[in-house]
Amino acid sequence: MPTPATGDKAAGYVARLSSLLLSTAQLLGSPSAPQAGDAARKLRRQASILIALGAVVIVVLMFGLDAREIALMPPRGAAGLWPVRVLTDFGKPAFVLSSIAALLMVVTLVAPIARGGLRSRLLHLAAELQYLLLAVVVPNAAGEFIKWIVGRGRPFVGGHANAFYFSHFAGTEAYASFPSAHAITSAALAFAVSALWPRLRIPMIVYALLIVASRLVLLAHHPSDVVAGALFGIIGAMAVRYWFAARRLGFAIGHDGAILPSRGPVSEPQRGCP
């Protein structure tokens, strides 16, 4: 039988952990930031510009470069490409999402036993990790739906360099080229990490470019596929950032509607918890 003190500590931990888990319901609440409307309008303008420019680039690539580019790449499965195959796995959605989820789980389990400033920092980190997770999940979910609709064949699926093999609603791996899930994941993660920690912007841009390049070298995608994937990833991460900022989670909204990382202390989800 546990001693009363041990039982009280266990009960207190469970109460704090339950309180922390329940606090995630704030994500489903209504926007509470006074400047949420300004931020929403700014997001719509930025997304509209990105979509318009991206659409032009994608069309130009499909008609002018896709077939030429894949014809220049080394044969699929070449032995010398093993470093590229290792590199590309770091942009795989399953790898990125499982890594973030594991870190979030650790922080969530440790935060209830922390005290004072450390607990506040861990609570803030938990909100940031939630943002990273959703910033990757949301655009990938949209991208998978578009893949199914478009059904674009991967490079050389028809036997030669033709960028216009389609089998709409096929739902098979051979016809899942547009958009690139690796590009979605790496671009979304690069944007999300840069949004939280601006000093990491350059390394994250390099990371995304390397992942995108690996998909081209391995003949997994056409250039227009990775551009479309990057577009999905960036806009998706922007939309999730707005969602968090409007609910004052991890971000703050300035008077001009600009969204900035919040570095303020995080209060307890329920102050009555022991």
The per-residue pLDDT for 2 is 56
pLDDT band at 272 (very low <50, low <70, confident <90, very high): very low
pLDDT band at 133 (very low <50, low <70, confident <90, very high): very high
pLDDT band at 274 (very low <50, low <70, confident <90, very high): very low
Measured between alpha carbons, how far is 154 from 163 in angstroms, rounded to an integer? 8
* Residue for token pair 């478009």: 150
The per-residue pLDDT for 220 is 96
pLDDT band at 271 (very low <50, low <70, confident <90, very high): very low
Compute the average pLDDT of residues 133-146.
Answer: 97
Mean pLDDT over each residue of the chain, to the nearest integer: 89
Are 265 and 120 spatial neighbours (Cβ–Cβ below 8 Å)?
yes
Compute the average pLDDT of residues 239-255.
Answer: 93
The per-residue pLDDT for 269 is 47
pLDDT digits (tens, 9 = 90+) for 39-54: 999 999 999 999 999 9
Least confident among 22-26, 91-95, 115-119, 154-158: 22-26
The per-residue pLDDT for 6 is 65
Question: Does 64 score more than 60 pLDDT?
Answer: yes
**pTM for the predicted model, two decimal places:** 0.89
Compute the average pLDDT of residues 101-110.
Answer: 93
Measured between alpha carbons, how far is 94 from 189 in angstroms, rounded to an integer? 13
Measured between alpha carbons, how far is 14 from 166 in angstroms, rounded to an integer? 53
Measured between alpha carbons, how far is 91 from 217 in angstroms, rounded to an integer? 14
Question: Does 195 score more than 90 pLDDT?
Answer: yes
Task: From 272, 273, 264, select the one nearest 120 (Cα to Cα).
Answer: 264
